[in-house]
Amino acid sequence: MTSEPMQVDCKEAAKRLNELIDGELTPEVEETIEHHLKDCARCMAVFEFEEAFCRFVKIKAKRQTAPEGLKERILKELGLSGNSCNE
Ligand SMILES: [Zn+2]
Model confidence pLDDT, tens digit, residues 2-17: 556 678 999 999 999 9
C-alpha 47 to ligand 1 mean position (Å): 10
Helix/strand/coil (H, E, C) string of the chain?
A: CCCCCCCCCHHHHHHHHHHHHCCCCCHHHHHHHHHHHHHCHHHHHHHHHHHHHHHHHHHHCCCCCCCCCHHHHHHHHCCCCCCCCCC
Please give the model's pTM, rounded to 2 decimal places.
0.63
Residues 24-43 have pLDDT tens digits of 999 999 999 999 999 999 99
State in Å: Cα 63 to ligand 1 middle: 32
Task: Report residue 85's pLDDT band, with 50, 70 and 90 as the boundaries.
Answer: very low
